[in-house]
């Protein structure tokens, strides 16, 4: 898959320095790829973003009108650092993940806490279909048909108490199932978090499947978050723990690079990443000749402003990036 160029941003520019360095360690594990050869090369200038004709989304935002990414691309170009930091590593290495049996620990500021087998955790809720855009902070995006349960419906059953202001999520961190855990690309386990009202927003999805089938391991089996108005790293994969907290929880990318990745991480074309613009993006389009389609403008809240902007009224989104 690396014969096709990932993007015109050199990987040395889009990868935090310590992660980039850890790729050298990954080579020792046989996990790195020829992409390394790209590092340090200057890419061509960004072409201007071109407008695209889009069918409108459903008014609730549940069904994006955009053309779907192919299943092949959505399962072979991934970020899941527990399996290695190269985009092809998750597809190559995630077969060792055992998504069954699986349980989820619920803790913190709620009346109902404990360890729940995944079926009991999800039981009363019917799966719904969603077509969401997901935009990676690195400047590429996908459009994926997910199946899952609204996160808020699941969380409500645990009856968060009046101190619960945030929800913290934790990924499995098992070196026997996840070879990338042996490399300190991030501080493991991978952690993410949402404010409680964000978690309760009808768009927030606990995904169990995509393209009508159970989630592939590389996409976060058996249970992941999909928060389509935020940069992709908020959509944490292979969740084993959920805690209701009073304080804003520690999140992996914010902990790793606080100047680059904030807690909120709402998609925002007006706030540049310190090392690149966020004004435009390239869809993974799955054409035979090139992985990425032409540059298109990035929309505020990834096109979900009608459903989510009111949650941030009065907040300075440059400060709370
Ligand atoms: N546990 C875990 N979750 C993760 C990641 C990760 O490295 N580990 N990467 C994130 C990033 S940066 C993105 S862009 C999306 C990618 O999801 P996809 O591979 O299904 O497209 O997963 C997110 N969830
Ligand atoms: Mo990402």
CATH of the domain at 163: 3.90.420.10
Shortest-distance ligand to the CA of residue 91: 1
- Can you tell me the mean pLDDT for 262-271? 98
Does any domain span residue 5? no
pLDDT at 265: 98
The pLDDT tens digits of the residues spanning 163-210 come to 999 999 999 999 999 999 999 999 999 999 999 999 999 999 999 999
CA angle 189, 274, 277 (to 5 degrees): 110
* pLDDT tens digits along 202-252: 999 999 999 999 999 999 999 999 999 999 999 999 999 999 999 999 999
Asked whether the predicted pLDDT for residue 82 surpasses 50, the reply is yes
Give the position, in ligand 1's atom list, of the atom nearest the Cα of 78. Answer: 19
- Residue 44's pLDDT is what? 43
In a domain, 160, yes or no: yes
Percent residues over pLDDT 70 in the chain: 84
More confident residue, 290 or 230: 230
DSSP 207: E
For residue 138, tell me if it sits in a domain. yes
Q: How far is the CA of 303 from the centre of ligand 1 (A)?
A: 20
Q: Is 69 in the pocket of ligand 1 (CB under 6 A)?
A: no
What is the pLDDT averaged over residues 50-68? 90
In a domain, 320, yes or no: no
pTM for the whole structure: 0.87
Let me know if residue 1 belongs to a domain. no
When the pLDDT of each residue in the chain is averaged and rounded to a whole number, the result is 88
- With 0-12 / 13-18 / 19 or more C-beta atoms within 10 angstroms meaning exposed / middle / buried, residue 219 is buried
Residue 258 CB coordination number (10 Å): 11
Residue owning the nearest CA to atom 19 of ligand 1: 78
Longest dimension (CA), the chain: 55
* 257 found inside a domain: yes
Cis peptide bond upstream of 72, omega within 30: no
Q: Indicate if ligand 1 lies below 6 Å from the C-beta of 76.
A: no
Region of residue 40 (phi > 0: left; psi between -120 and 50: alpha; otherwise: beta): left
For the stretch 98-135, pLDDT in tens is: 999 999 999 999 999 999 999 999 988 999 999 999 99
* CA neighbours closer than 13 Å in the CB half-sphere of residue 251: 25
CA of 215 to the centre of ligand 2 (A): 18
Q: How far is the CA of 79 from the centre of ligand 2 (A)?
A: 6
Would you say residue 203 lies in a domain?
Answer: yes
Please report, for residues 9, 129, 285, 293, the alpha-carbon distance to residue 47 in angstroms, rounded to integers and kept in the order given: 12, 35, 17, 12
Q: Is 236 exposed, middle or buried (0-12, 13-18, 19+ CB in 10 A)?
A: buried
Say how many domains are in the chain: 1
Look at residue 41 and tell me whether its pLDDT is greater than 90.
no
**Phi, psi values for residue 27, rounded to 5°:** -55, -35
- Number of C-beta neighbours around residue 319 at 10 A: 9
Query: What pLDDT sits at residue 291?
Result: 85
Structural domain contains residue 318: no
Any ligand 1 atom below 6 A from CB of 177: no
**What is the rounded distance in angstroms from the CA atom of residue 297 to the CA atom of residue 299?**
6
> Which domain, by its residues, includes 156?
11-312
């Amino acid at each position: 898959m690396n014969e096709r160029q990932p993007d015109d941003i050199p990987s040395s520019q889009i990868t935090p320095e310590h992660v980039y360095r850890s790729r050298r360690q990954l080579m020792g594990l046989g996990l790195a790829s020829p992409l390394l050869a790209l590092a340090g090369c200057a890419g061509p200038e960004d072409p201007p973003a071109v407008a695209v004709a889009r069918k409108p989304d459903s008014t609730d935002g549940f069904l994006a009108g955009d053309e779907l990414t192919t299943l092949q691309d959505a399962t072979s170009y991934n970020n899941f650092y527990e399996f290695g930091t190269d985009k092809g590593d998750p597809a190559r290495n995630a077969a060792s993940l055992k998504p069954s049996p699986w349980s989820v620990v619920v803790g913190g500021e709620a009346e109902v806490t404990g360890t729940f087998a995944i079926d009991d955790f999800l039981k009363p809720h019917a799966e719904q279909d969603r077509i969401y855009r997901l935009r990676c902070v690195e400047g590429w995006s996908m459009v994926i048909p997910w199946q899952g349960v609204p996160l808020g419906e699941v969380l409500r059953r645990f009856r968060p108490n009046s101190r619960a202001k945030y929800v913290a999520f934790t990924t499995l961190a098992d070196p026997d199932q996840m070879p990338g855990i042996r490399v300190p690309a991030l501080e493991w386990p991978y952690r993410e978090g949402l404010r409680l009202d964000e978690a309760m927003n009808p768009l927030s999805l606990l995904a169990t499947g995509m393209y009508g089938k159970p989630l592939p391991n590389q996409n976060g089996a058996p249970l992941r978050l999909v928060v389509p108005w935020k940069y992709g790293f908020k959509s944490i994969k292979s969740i084993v723990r959920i805690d209701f907290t009073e304080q804003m929880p520690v999140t992996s990318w914010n902990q790793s690079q606080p100047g680059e990745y904030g807690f909120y991480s709402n998609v925002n074309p007006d706030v540049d990443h310190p090392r690149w613009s966020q004004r435009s993006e390239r869809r993974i389009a799955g054409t035979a000749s090139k992985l990425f389609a032409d540059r298109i403008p990035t929309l505020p809240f990834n096109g979900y402003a009608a459903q989510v902007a009111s949650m941030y009224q009065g907040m300075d989104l440059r400060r709370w990036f």
